[in-house]
Amino acid sequence: MRRLGSEQGFALMAGILVMTVITGLALALLLVTNSGQKAALREQASESAFNVAEAALNAQVSQLARAWPTGEGVIRCTEATTSESNVCPTGNILKESYPNISPTACSGKALDSWGSPSTNEWTTYVRDDVQGANAPFNSAVEETAKDYDANGDGKVWVRSVGVVQCRMVVLAALISQESIAIPFPKKVVVANWFETRNSGKKVIVNTQGESGQTTNVSIRCDPPPEAQPCAKYEKAKGQVSPGGVVEEAGTSPTKSTSELETLRQQAEATGSYYPAGKCPKGLPSGHLVYVEGPCAVEGGGNEVANSEASPGFLIIANGTLFMNGSSQFYGVIYCVDKQGSNKALVELQGTAKIVGGLDVDGSGGASFNASGENVVYDAKAVEELKTYAGADATRNSFRILSNSE
């Protein structure tokens, strides 16, 4: 007969209970490990997205350093819009560093609040700082702003988006234009020789203008012009007033080959470069205009280039300038004389006027036949000559934005 107190089967029950507990712990541990792996992958993807966004932002700033955006550009830069000639980053650099690893499951999701799909691993935007200096980034305002420096304050916002494995990071920074002064002779006219062809008692070259700073006409006379003096004008009739004409060795060329090449590249980047075979029609306006030539640049009628408040800088590498009528040019004109001419490279007639300064390199000269002032010195136009020296992020402007900004 079986005893009622038998413990047979107890070990089996205990074993099953222990196995159940162990299995539960193992499943819990596996769940925790899986969740940790997923969290780690999400964190890794977020860090990668940040790196991509930061790289795209830096690449965009590099493009702005090459050419500051002064006119309509590209609304949105992606790998599809990049090129060597526009303001978008060069996609190959980003592609080599961060190959596209976004899964197809993200396709079609417009994660970027400004409309870029998540299939773009990176996207950059350039927007004018419409709220002015020191104003914080405002997504709702900047999204509809112009895609260039429309207010002319030398600042734009760059917003960049990085997407890796469906994780998105949005960055923004205020980028400032940087410039340096261009050393230039503080003279009303610098040339190898100079003449007036009007015998009237009048001021033809105003060496003071409205600036209150008196300068003079500087001539090199090396070599002297044929069959005429280096300075031919009616001194007793005050044609150069209140300063005078001085003969001095001077420096020719005023700008070195490397400096001219830098200025040429800047003009090319901003669309104000006239290559060989292409000449401007009329007087070209602009902060910096470079004419390769050979060109005979002419201005007539009531044509006005630039303004007193915003003078320009016109470089004619190979060519001449002729102005008549009541045409006016505000700024500095520089004739390099690459053609090696000893003729008049700059000639003004009638009431045509240069307000600023004039510089003629080489053996070339300047000739004026005025019924009024032909050249008026403007110290501001000469002293404020600047060249673009790149772009960089404004201090303390870097921001990590939310996905909705």
Q: Report residue 16's pLDDT band, with 50, 70 and 90 as the boundaries.
A: confident
Mean pLDDT for the stretch of residues 296-313: 93
Amino acid letter at 247? E
Comparing 30-39, 242-251, 279-288, the range with the smallest average pLDDT is 30-39
Give the separation between CA 218 and CA 205, rounded to whole angstroms.
Answer: 12
- Burial class of residue 301, CB neighbours in 10 A (0-12, 13-18, 19+): exposed
Ramachandran assignment for 81, one of left (phi > 0), alpha (psi -120 to 50 degrees), beta (any other):
alpha
Provide the CA 347 distance to its chain's centre, in angstroms.
33
Which residue(s) pair with 191 in the sheet? Answer: 219
Q: Is the pLDDT of residue 36 over 80?
A: no
What CA–CA distance (Å, rounded) separates 249 from 253?
A: 12
- Residue 306 confidence class, pLDDT cut points 50, 70, 90: very high
- 0.75 exceeded by pTM: no
Q: What does the pLDDT read at residue 290?
A: 96
More confident residue, 83 or 254: 254
Closest CA to 281 of 263, 264, 300, 267: 300
Cα–Cα distance for residue pair 253/389, rounded to 1 Å: 22
Average pLDDT of the segment spanning 28-32: 70
Name the residue with higher pLDDT: 318 or 198: 318
Listing DSSP states for 144-213 in one string gives TS-SS-TT-SSEEEEEEEEEETTEEEEEEEEEEEEEEE------SEEESEEEE---SSS-SEESSTTTT-
Classify each residue of 178-199 as buried b or exposed e, where b means 16 or more C-beta atoms within 10 Å of its C-beta. eeeebebbebbbbbbbbbbebe
Beta-strand pair 217-219/189-191: parallel
pLDDT in tens, 321-378: 999 999 999 999 999 999 999 999 999 999 999 999 999 999 999 999 988 889 999 9
Q: What is the pLDDT of residue 1?
A: 46
Q: Binning pLDDT at 50, 70 and 90, where does residue 276 land?
A: very high
- Distance, in Å, from the CA atom of 44 to the CA atom of 57, rounded to the nearest integer, reads 20
- pLDDT score of 119 more than 70: yes
**What pLDDT band is residue 89 in, cutting at 50, 70 and 90?**
confident
Euclidean distance between CA atoms 61 and 77, whole angstroms: 12
